[in-house]
Structures are given as structure tokens and as C-alpha cells.
Structure 1
Amino acid sequence: MNKPAPTVSVIKMYAAREEIYAREVKGWYANWRWVCVWLTQLAFYGLPWMSWNGRQAVLFDLGARKFYLFGVVLWPQDFIYLALLLIVSAFSLFLFTAIAGRLWCGYACPQTVYTEIFMWIERKIEGTRSARMRLDKQPWTVEKISKKTAKHLAWVVFALWTGFTFVGFFTPIRSLGQEVISLSLGPWEWFWILFYGFATYGNAGWLREQVCMYMCPYARFQSVMFDPDTLIVTYDQKRGEPRNKYAKLAVNDTTARKQGDCIDCTMCVQVCPVGIDIRNGLQYECIGCGACIDACDKVMDKVNLPRGLIRYSTDNAMAKQLNKSQIWRRVFRPRVLIYTVILTAMVSVLFGALVMRTPLKLDVIRDRGVMAREVEDGIIENVFRLQIMNTDEFAHRYIIKVRGIDSISLASDNEVEVDATTSRAVPVRVRVPHGKGEKGSNKIEFELQAVDRPDLNVTEKAVFIVPR
């Protein structure tokens, strides 16, 4: 008996991407998204061009290992401030997510912001949603080639300008601009301008929703920070179902009004930047942008039905039909209050540390070549190197003092001048008369005092060696 020939089947583990043609929407939340676009991009593109005390206001000079933030100059020794900033960012993420879900994703995330800008460029060149769909389906003609070329050229120019601005935070942007004009950029500058520009062009122009759905880890672990009282974009199933396609034609018909308010126009799907149907419930792909809310509210206005079929609410509020005041009371629950208290404390600590920060640092390094030596008249001498860092915007002259042992003194010049935002190594010789101090190590203390600013001083401990 012959066995049947085995059949071969191909199982695809990856579904091909379906192009999403998001319809333009106007409304309350769309306006807020554009407010965030303007605020974030004015800050991003404008900050590198601002001046402060004759220099770039915001500059992360990796070569000189100095970070300039307006009137603050941070050095590698100020790493603690970066740690505090990361802690503040983490608690901000917890707080905002606990209150309003993916609020950051929907309004201020760079991916959302640049996608919004790229889609605006696309609409201006290729037209509305239906026009773009027709354009993609038609064969390649002069019109199609010209529009596609113009769109991608505009995307590339904007992306390269974005890459140039990004590098301008690490290299003085005015000199960077001159280097671009003269084509004299260094290899790393070329690399980062092209890399960041390519990332902007690829993520906002081509990948778009795939970044939010597959590449961004926030979409995956957001469920850990959500709970039934987190504000999310929700569809009121009790009010909307069963869907009534004829409501817009018979809004006063009693039979029609026995059905739900949703007229199944799919406008909420057409405006969604990630292409989901919010009527199927909360999905991890939802970035909480509120575009579907604006679209649905406009449809409800046209069919003379109350707004809010799709709205920001919580699972508990939808299940228990809570009003707005009850919703907000549940939103500010103990978990949120604890996050708020912790975040407020951390922000206060960060700003307090920056305000009280002394723009002067001192490191004392012992001369390893000579631990201790005896000079004339039995005087014991130790040699140290003082690493003085003036993080202020102005040069200062400092007086060096030493104390800790009776009759201890400096055998070298006790004044030194350090230029603005620079460091200087100063060798000093410290002497103790014969018979003073204990055999072995003795604790001493160096003090730097600015001549022109009595409040500007710093101390550092060291050890003076007396031979046994």
C-alpha cells in the first residue's frame, strides 16, 4: 500500500506590514499634541543657538569633559547630579503612568512628535488620506514620482537638520555650521549627523507605528504600572453597543434609538496612528494620543448625540459608571500620592543640591616620590599636589591655608589664580617644626579661600607623615 506523499506547508512567523493611512483630525487633544510639538521642537532646535556669558547656553562638551547648562558648569565629578536626574525621571515615569497611562507616548515622545511632523509634510505634498491611498495604488507616473520625490526630499532635509542640531549639543553649533559649509567636519561629527538624521528619517518616515508596537519597551511593561484606576482611552460599550449604522439617518426614529450610539463609521480607526480599533478594548499598541476621541466627538456632534462615547476614563469608572468628580478622586489614590511625595522630595533635593553647589573643587594628592623628608634645622616637609577646579564662569584668585598640626605652615606660595571653568595642578610644600606632631600619620586639612568672594571656600582632608 502506497503512503500518501507528505505535504509541505510554510508557516510565516512574521506578518507583512500593512500601510496605515492615518486621517487628519482636529480637536481638543489634537491641538494639545501640536502644542507639545511646538514646545519640544522650539526647545530642541533653539537651545543650541542661545548664548550665556559669551558661550553656548547648553553644551555637553565631551572633549573638555564639561557640561554647560546655562549658569551651571558640571564636571565628571558631578556625576551624582546625573544619578539624581535619572531617579527623578524614573519616578516621573511611574507617576505619570499611574495617573494617565501612556501620556508621554501620546504627546511628548520624540517618536510621536517627529511622526506628527513627517505626517504633516506628507499631507501637504501628497494630500489627504484618500488622496494618498489613490496615489499609492496608481502606476508610476510623472505626478507620482514628483510627489514621492518631493516628500522624501523634504523628509531628508528635515532629518539632516535634526541630526545637525543634535550634534550641536555636543559641539559648538556655530563652529559646527561653519565646518558643514566648508565641508571640514571631523569623522565622528559626520557619523553622528548622518546617523541621527537617518534614524529620524527611518523611524518617523517609514517605521512609525512599528517603533511604538515592537521596538519601544515601554509598550511591553506598561501593564505592570497600570491598574483599574489609571486613566486610559476607553470606549463606552454599554452606550455604544449594539452598533447602529443608521443612527445618522434616523436620529429621531424610536426604533433606531433603541440601538447603541456607535454608528460604526470607523473614524476612530481611520485617525489612529497605530491602526487599532479602540472599540475592542485597551491594547498595548494604544499610545493614548486621544485622536480617536476627537474624531468620535465630531461624529457625535453631526448625529446629534452627546460626546464622550470614546473618552479618557478608567476601567473602574466604566464598570461603575462614575462621574468625573468620582473618577478624579480615584485617580489620586494612595499609590499616586506616594509617588508624588517621593518625586517632590527628589526634585527638591536635586534643585537644592544645584543651588547650594560650591563652584570650586579641591583634590589633594600626595607626592609619591617623597613621602616625607627632613630639611634644614630638623624641619619635616611633605610635598602635595593640589588639583584645583574652578567651575565658576569667572577667574578667581585663591589663598591656600593648611591646619591640623601646631606651627604647620606652607613653604611655597600660598596664593594661586585659576581661570574660569578650568582646573590647575599646584604643587605645595608643607612643613612642621622638629618635635611637632606625632610619629607616623597626622591628619591635616587644606582650605581654599577666594580673595574676591569670602563665601567661596572649600576644605579637603589629607595626611602629614612624620618619620618614626
Structure 2
Amino acid sequence: MSNNKTSHNNIDPVTASSAQAVHRYPAPEQRIEFREIPISPAPQSVKHSKKTPLASGKIHIREQKGRFQRIRTATNSLLVILFFLLPFISYQGHQAILFNLSEQQFIFFGTTLWPQDFTVLAWVFIAAAFLLFFTTVFWGRVWCGYLCPQTAWTFMYVWIETRLEGNQNKRIALDKAPWTRQKIVKRVAKHTAWGLTALLTGCAFIAYFVPARELYSDIFSLEASFWVTTWVWFFAICTYLNAGWMREQMCLHCCPYSRFQSVMFDANTKTVTYDANRGESRGARKRKQETELGDCVDCHLCVDVCPTGIDIRNGLQYECINCGACVDTCNQTMDKFGYQKNLISYVSENSLKGKSQPIYTSLKFIGYGLSAFIMLVVIGVDMANKSDIQLNVLRDRQNLYRETAQSQIENSYTLKIRNKTQQTRQYRLSIDKPQLMLVGSAELVIKPGEQLDYPVTLKTDTDQLMSTRTPITFSVTDISQTDSSVSQQSNFFGPL
């Protein structure tokens, strides 16, 4: 009782008075109109797929057709055809493209680059890198998906595998099946086709370093040299292992491009992207069935067609090569269910958020584009100033000058003149000082790619010399092309 009294006595007087007022003056009754308010469901989180071919083991690519696969097939086919045919193209009587290591020259459609000209190749590689970065900022890894030799040869080997062993399901079943006569025949046929393709690839690659027609006749007649045969088989084995067995492992672990691609991306870069706002929550259903699920029917086809075995619905991943196979198969599925296309598409992050910006406002886009343009200008200027004649003037190291019985002064030189073209050329030698006479012929004939060490003697009367050292300039001019010439300075010495 004492506790109850204590609790009762501790009640706040204000609270007590308020309670008495409520009992004394009750609030009037109110009616609240009931109405149904539509509430949009909260956005569903993306359900990440963990069971993917990449995570589980060997990847069997499902063959896919569609718009982007037609583009990829066309570009890959063009790349393969050019790779095999270019060594057989002749230009001005010579192989159009040839890295002649024994002669230390690179021939490219009539233009010959020597070791001292290889700075041009450095500029070309730098320009190609900036062009690749420039394209990546806009379209992501389209190089990997459409032009990379790794992708081209992988899909070529998959095409052979599909023709000989069947579609994806049949290949998976064949892997699990016991070794029977039919399985052995299919496997032998597949690996034989792979091996022949690899051997032709090895020959085609070495044909850029050895004259192509001689190479193929020597290889298949078993008359090729040891080193040529060794290198052909080396690249053949590499092709067989790379395109037949390693495949996506090259992209994931060996190629650095997949690792640093994110450095070049920005919010306006178009990459293969899954629209989670449309697709989630995903789930299977029948056609034309009313459902509260998202547009993704969880058919798993986007994973089956992926050459690297990823699930694009898990978000942007470094393994994605932007080949567009998942875009094609998803669009076909959307058509079947009557849904809007491009649930998976080439789209930028900003476009998905509805705040797309022009790509030319990107600093990376401008920077890479400007860098590529500058390098192309450097290449153009370097090639425009490149001469088809090389001239080095060496003085006689034993005698500074000689005095003849006729009281004339002689200086001896050795002119190293190289014909950097692939045709025999006739040249004219001249000196810019008329008081100096050239002893010997002033016209020279040099064969393609050869260097001529031509001894030259200049003489003059003593009274023609104004000082002990007279600067002179040797010039060598192509008689058939007078605009093609080269000059080098030297000195003519006389007595004090």
C-alpha cells in the first residue's frame, strides 16, 4: 500500500490536470475517409548469380546469331583473311609486307624502313595505343570483342568444335560421356582440324618474316631450314593451346588490357550493361503471363553465350569483352515475350540515370583524341622527311691532306651510300664548291637495299684555298627522281 501511495503521490500535477480536462471535455468524434493509395514497389536489389561457367570450370559457348554477332563475324573474318593473304600480295615486284630480319629491313608496300628509321614504328605503336584508348572511352572494349586476334581465333576454334561435336548441350554431354568409338572419332577429328588450323596460322605468321611463297613450298616439301621449321611449329603449338584450350584464360590472366580498362572508362562510356531497374526482380514465367516480376525471365541465355562465362546481370566486370552476344540473345528473348528490347545493351551509366552527356565533353575523350592526332601528325611529318637515300661521309684518318707534284691539294673521303628502295637506282654525286674537282665518276649505280662504300678524292690548286679549312657539302641525287636527294657536310683541309 505504501508503494502504491508513493506512486500515486508522485504524479505530475500538470499531467493530472490535463487528464481531468480530457475526461471533462472529450474530443468530438472524427471520420477519416478511406481511399486506396497506389504505392510503387521498392526497387529490388540485383540477385547475383554465383553459378556461372567461369566459376564452375570449362566454358562451352552457345552459338548465337544476331545483329552484333554478324558485325563480329564480319570483322573477325576480315581480320583472318587479311592475316593469311597479306604475305602473298606483291607490290613493285616484291612482297608487300615483310620483316626481313637477315637484311635488317621492314618493307611496307614499297616503303623500306631500316634500323635507323624504326622510330617511325615507335610512333605508329604509340599512335595505335592512343587510338585504342580513344575508342575505349567511347565504346568500351570493342577492340576485344570485335578486332582482337584472340577473340577471332577463339571463335574460329569454337566454330570448328560446334560443327564436329554439336551444339552446347551436345558438347557438355560428350564431355561427361564415357570413351566410346564415336567420342574418340569426334575428338580426333576436332583436334586434327585444330592442329591443321594452328599449323597454317604458324606458317602465315612466319610468312611476314620469310618470303611467303618460298616458305610454304619449303615447309610442305620438308626442305625448310631448322630455324624456320622450329619457329613455325612454335607458333603453331602456341595457337593450338591458346585458341583451343586457354581461350578466356588469356583474357582474364595474361592480357593486361582487361585490368586497366577501368582507368579509361567514365560515366559516359558505352559498355554492355544490364538494366537492373527494368529486369529485377527476375523470374521465370510463361509468355504473355501477367506478373509483378521484372522483364528478366531468368533464362540464363546471356550466360550461355558469353565467351568468358560471366553473368552480365552481376554488373560491369573486367572479364566482359563487349562482344554483344548477350545483347543479341536477350533481345531475341524480349521479342518472344513481347517486352521492350535492350534490357541488355550498349549504354552508358549516365544514360541509365537519364542524364546523358555528349561524349566530346569528356576530358579523357579529348585528351586521348588529341594525343592520337598529334602522333599521327608526327608520323606524317617523319615519313614526309624520310629519304630513300642514306649518306655518310668519312674522311681519311691517315692524312689530313696531300700535296701533289702539280702543287695541288688533295683530300680523300669514303662515301657510304645506301639505296633504301627495292629498285636499282642511278645516282649523281656533286659538291657545292666549284673550285674543288672530283676525281672519278660522279654517277653511281646501286642495287636494291645495298650500301656502296665509294672512295672519293677532291683536289684544288693551292691559290684557290682561302683558309686551312673549307666547309663543303656532298650531295647525292636520284637521277630518275630529282626531288629525292640527301646531303652531308664535311671539310676540305689545306696547308697553313
TM-score (norm 1): 0.90
- Summarize the Cα distance change of 1:250–1:182 in structure 2 as closer, same or farther, 3 Å threshold: closer
In the alignment, is residue 350 of structure 1 matched against residue 379 of structure 2? yes
TM-fit CA distance, 1:407: 1.6
- Percent of aligned positions that are identical: 39
- 2:318 is aligned, of 277, 284, 290, to 284
- Summarize the Cα distance change of 1:219–1:437 in structure 2 as closer, same or farther, 3 Å threshold: farther
TM-fit CA distance, 1:402: 1.4
In the alignment, is residue 33 of structure 1 matched against residue 72 of structure 2? yes
In the alignment, is residue 390 of structure 1 matched against residue 419 of structure 2? yes
- 2:190 is aligned, of 151, 157, 180, to 151
Question: For residues 152 and 396 of structure 1, what CA distance do their matches in structure 2 show?
Answer: 51
Question: For residues 179 and 367 of structure 1, what CA distance do their matches in structure 2 show?
Answer: 47
Q: Check conservation: 1:397, 1:451, Cα contact below 8 A.
A: yes
Q: Check conservation: 1:106, 1:289, Cα contact below 8 A.
A: yes
Measured against aligned partners, the alpha-carbon deviations of 1:415-455 in whole angstroms (never above 9, x if no partner) come to 21112333212111122432544665442210112333322
Number of residues of Structure 1 aligned to a counterpart in Structure 2: 443
Residue equivalent to 2:22: none
- 2:308 is aligned, of 265, 270, 274, to 274
Measured against aligned partners, the alpha-carbon deviations of 1:324-362 in whole angstroms (never above 9, x if no partner) come to xx45x2366343134223323422442454355332221
**What SS does structure 2 have at the residue aligned with 1:171?**
coil
In the alignment, is residue 427 of structure 1 matched against residue 455 of structure 2? yes
Q: Check conservation: 2:415, 2:455, Cα contact below 8 A.
A: yes
Which has more radius of gyration? 2
Measured against aligned partners, the alpha-carbon deviations of 1:216-243 in whole angstroms (never above 9, x if no partner) come to 1111111221222211111101111111
Measured against aligned partners, the alpha-carbon deviations of 1:268-288 in whole angstroms (never above 9, x if no partner) come to 111111111111111111111
Residue equivalent to 2:477: 449
- Of 153-162 and 56-65, more deviation after overlay is shown by 56-65
TM-fit CA distance, 1:380: 2.6
Q: Check conservation: 2:408, 2:460, Cα contact below 8 A.
A: yes
- Of 172-181 and 391-400, more deviation after overlay is shown by 391-400
Q: Check conservation: 2:64, 2:329, Cα contact below 8 A.
A: yes
- 1:178 is aligned, of 217, 233, 238, to 217
In the alignment, is residue 134 of structure 1 matched against residue 173 of structure 2? yes
Q: Check conservation: 2:96, 2:107, Cα contact below 8 A.
A: yes
In the alignment, is residue 61 of structure 1 matched against residue 90 of structure 2? no
Residue equivalent to 1:113: 152
Q: Check conservation: 2:267, 2:348, Cα contact below 8 A.
A: yes
What aligned pairs does 1:68-467 form with structure 2 within 5 A after superposition?
Answer: 68-246=107-285, 249=286, 251-253=288-290, 256=291, 258-318=292-352, 320-322=353-355, 326=356, 329-330=358-359, 333-355=362-384, 357-404=386-433, 407-437=435-465, 441-467=469-495
AA in 2 matched with 1:113: A
Q: Check conservation: 1:99, 1:331, Cα contact below 8 A.
A: no
Measured against aligned partners, the alpha-carbon deviations of 1:244-285 in whole angstroms (never above 9, x if no partner) come to 322xx15351xx0x3211111111111111111111111111
Question: For residues 425 and 243 of structure 2, what CA distance do their matches in structure 1 show?
Answer: 49
Question: For residues 129 and 405 of structure 2, what CA distance do their matches in structure 1 show?
Answer: 61
Q: Check conservation: 1:372, 1:382, Cα contact below 8 A.
A: yes
Q: Check conservation: 1:22, 1:273, Cα contact below 8 A.
A: yes
TM-fit CA distance, 1:385: 1.3
AA in 2 matched with 1:455: D
Q: Check conservation: 2:264, 2:364, Cα contact below 8 A.
A: no
AA in 2 matched with 1:251: K
AA in 1 matched with 2:480: D
Question: For residues 43 and 441 of structure 1, what CA distance do their matches in structure 2 show?
Answer: 57
Question: For residues 487 and 373 of structure 2, what CA distance do their matches in structure 1 show?
Answer: 31
Measured against aligned partners, the alpha-carbon deviations of 1:182-226 in whole angstroms (never above 9, x if no partner) come to 312112211210111111111100000100001111111112212
Question: For residues 184 and 250 of structure 1, what CA distance do their matches in structure 2 show?
Answer: 65
Residue equivalent to 1:3: none
* Root mean square deviation, CA, Å: 2.0
Structure of higher RCO (CA pairs closer than 8 Å, 6+ residues apart): 2
Q: Check conservation: 1:105, 1:289, Cα contact below 8 A.
A: yes
Q: Check conservation: 1:377, 1:434, Cα contact below 8 A.
A: no
AA in 2 matched with 1:36: T
AA in 2 matched with 1:414: A
Question: For residues 146 and 330 of structure 2, what CA distance do their matches in structure 1 show?
Answer: 19
**What SS does structure 1 have at the residue aligned with 2:59?**
coil
Measured against aligned partners, the alpha-carbon deviations of 1:62-107 in whole angstroms (never above 9, x if no partner) come to 1112222112122222112112212211211221121112111111
TM-fit CA distance, 1:401: 1.0
Moved over 4 A (4+): 435-441
